[in-house]
Amino acid sequence: MKMLKLLGLQLKVNFGLSALRWYLQHDPRRFWGSMGLALLVIAGIAPILYPYVQMMETAYAISAGLGQPGLIIALAVVLSSLLVLVFSLTYVLSVFYYSRDLSLLLSLPLEPRDILGAKFFVVWILDLLTMAPFYLPALWVFGVNSGAGPLSWLAGIFIFLLLPVVPLALSSIFVLCLMSLVNLSRKRDTLQLMGLFLFLAAVLLLNTYLTSIPAGEEMDYLEKLLAEEQGLVRFTARAYPPAFFAARALSAGGELSWLNFFYFLGVSAAGLGLLLLVGQQIFYRGLIGGSEVQQGRALSRDELAGKAAGALPPAWAIALREIKYLVRTPIYLFNSLAMVALVPIVLAIPLFAGGELAPLLEQIQAVPGPIQALGGAAFMGLMALFAPAASSSFSREGRLFWISQVIPVAPEQQIRGKVLYSLIIASLSLPVVALAAFWLSWTISQFLIAVIAGMILSLPAITSSLLIDLLRPYLTWDNPQKAIKQNVNVIFGMVAGGALYYLLYLAGRQAYEATGALLPVYLAVLGGALALSAICYGVLVKIAPARYRDIVIS
């Protein structure tokens, strides 16, 4: 009962339900503005979903022809569960250990499982929103094409509601164990970050091992899977065994469907029970020392004078402040660098797993060198687009934004510093470009062209994202995770940057069709990137003084 009451309170706090109800009654314009904003986010995601639905249609046609229509459900469940397992790590760490309401909750007569269960449910709902674009289209394609009845649709929705439980429980147990081990260490933040990245690498390596096909036996192995009843479904579910129960619950029919449904239900219940059992024992242990701050070393008068004499230019000082803030907050650092770190791991896995990259490399090497270099530059631009460094730059300051308003650094200089900081984050993808240069035997000039062009192509995503976050910063979050994961500015930044990159793609294609040469393509793409960046940056600098003056933190 205590957990249910606390759950209702957590839902109101984390999703602003009370505020929305107040706005509906007293400020309808703001309420409908929030609803319109939600619809705008959905509309921005819709163009990405269309090709995914088409891909699911094709996959269903192939799998149904092989007598294994449940394959697309298994694929969707595996993909959704892996996303939850990996990307809920920072959700869990933030909600469990960095929420501002913890000091109040700990003083109440609540069991650890009550607090843990209520906060787990909040992350559960957030993960449902994360996996909905990946699972629900597959369920729709399967249900429509298979002629599913009402019970099948109901079972599919119920499976969707339970999907996050097991992967979220596993990531939660890992975070609980990690925090109970590192909470009293002086290097707590560093150890947390190392633990998160090691978990990410372990999940990817295990997934690759479980789904690998014996080298040299690909055709025989595939024939065996096709000959075996539900062989493809079983093979796909090796990465996440409960996916087999979900697929069979919807596709087997009769008593077998119900049996698999209850298997899936039982696994989910076991995952939740294990989390509450472990959490009851070690949740509070991870909180001890979590709010303590290590005392810094006192500076001597000579050291202070030396630091003051060697002051950086204002823009670089702001960039350095952003970097220090990022490094000191593991949640921000993991979210900002996860994609940049994930790609090298994914690229390196085939080497350690014994896979062959030669066929792929031969195909890429057939592409002209200048196009390869432009592809490397495009990769850097995409990493800048997906990293939330710029799109949450102002929001991450939270209620401490007043410091930026009062320091003796002009807003224009602070904007330059944030652009520099975002470029530094984008440059962290350089090792991947260097790896591509090594594998593809680029010349030094090609590598330099890729790097310079990549930094230029990063600017449209950076400046447009900064502009969006300056126009509507989210400063009233109560745990640091919300500044990124529950900040719609991050989604708007991706959509806006994606639209600008699509314009650059059209410009490059038009230049190639008109001339058939590569130099006009470079001029059109890079010139267009500089022009779009200059426009966004000009607007930023123009409105920055007024925005810094007018933003009020309630």
Does 301 fall in a domain? no
Does 96 fall in a domain? yes
| The predicted structure's pLDDT at residue 111 | 82
d(CA 314, CA 411): 10
In the chain, how long is the greatest CA-to-CA distance?
82
Q: Which residues contact 396 (CB under 8 A, 6 or more apart)?
A: 325, 332, 480, 483, 484
Domain boundary among 287, 302, 336: 287
Q: Which of the 8 DSSP states describes residue 164? A: T
**Cα of 186 vs its chain's centroid, Å:** 28
Low-confidence residues in the chain, pLDDT < 70: 1-4, 7-27, 29-48, 184-186, 211-219, 221, 223, 226-227, 288-311, 338-366, 369, 554
| The predicted structure's pLDDT at residue 214 | 63
| The predicted structure's pLDDT at residue 342 | 62
d(CA 117, CA 384): 36
Claim to verify: residue 398 and residue 514 sit in the same structural domain: yes
| The predicted structure's pLDDT at residue 99 | 74
88: tokens are: 């809920």
Claim to verify: residue 235 and residue 355 sit in the same structural domain: no
Q: Judge contact between 405 and 481, C-beta under 8 A.
A: no
Q: Which residues of 484-521 are buried (b: 16+ CB within 10 A; e: fewer)?
A: bbbbbbbbbbbbbbbebbeebeebbeebeeeeeebebb
Claim to verify: residue 378 and residue 507 sit in the same structural domain: yes
Q: Which of the 8 DSSP states describes residue 276? A: H
Does 129 fall in a domain? yes
Does 300 fall in a domain? no
Q: Write the burial class of residue 11 (CB in 10 Å: 0-12 exposed, 13-18 middle, 19+ buried).
A: middle
Claim to verify: residue 392 and residue 463 sit in the same structural domain: yes
Q: Which of the 8 DSSP states describes residue 395? A: G
Dihedral-angle region of residue 185 (phi above 0 means left; psi in -120 to 50 means alpha; beta otherwise): beta
544: tokens are: 């920055």
Number of domains in the chain: 2
Place of tokens 């990817």: 204
Does 263 fall in a domain? yes
Claim to verify: residue 347 and residue 489 sit in the same structural domain: yes
Q: Which of the 8 DSSP states describes residue 252? A: S
Does 521 fall in a domain? yes
Claim to verify: residue 273 and residue 398 sit in the same structural domain: no
d(CA 438, CA 138): 39
d(CA 41, CA 291): 35
Place of tokens 């995952």: 271
Instruction: Give residue 196's identity as a one-letter amino acid code.
Output: L
pTM, entire model: 0.71
Q: Which of the 8 DSSP states describes residue 188? A: H
d(CA 120, CA 165): 9
521: tokens are: 């393509």
Q: Which residues contact 101 (CB under 8 A, 6 or more apart)?
A: 13, 478
Does 296 fall in a domain? no
| The predicted structure's pLDDT at residue 353 | 45
| The predicted structure's pLDDT at residue 354 | 44
Claim to verify: residue 240 and residue 95 sit in the same structural domain: yes
Claim to verify: residue 337 and residue 453 sit in the same structural domain: yes
| The predicted structure's pLDDT at residue 356 | 47
Q: Which residues contact 163 (CB under 8 A, 6 or more apart)?
A: 77, 80, 81, 84, 128, 131, 135, 246
Q: Judge contact between 134 and 239, C-beta under 8 A.
A: no
Claim to verify: residue 359 and residue 452 sit in the same structural domain: yes
- Of 21, 259, 264, nearest in space to 164 by CA: 264
- Give the phi and the psi of residue 295 in degrees, each rounded to 5: -70, 130
Percent of residues in the chain assigned helix, strand, coil, to nearest 5? 80, 0, 20
Q: Which domain holds residue 388?
A: 327-550
Question: In this structure, is the dihedral angle defined by the CA atoms of residues 511, 513, 514 and 518, taken in order, positive or negative?
Answer: positive
SS3 track for 5-70: HHHHHHHHHHHCHHHHHHHHHHCHHHHHHHHHHHHHHHHHHHHHHHHHHHHHHHHHHHHHHCCCCC
Domain boundary among 265, 287, 309: 287
| The predicted structure's pLDDT at residue 51 | 75
Claim to verify: residue 411 and residue 485 sit in the same structural domain: yes
- Give the CA count within 13 Å in the CB-facing half-sphere of 308: 7
Claim to verify: residue 117 and residue 41 sit in the same structural domain: yes
Domain boundary among 262, 287, 312: 287
Claim to verify: residue 367 and residue 278 sit in the same structural domain: no
Does 320 fall in a domain? no
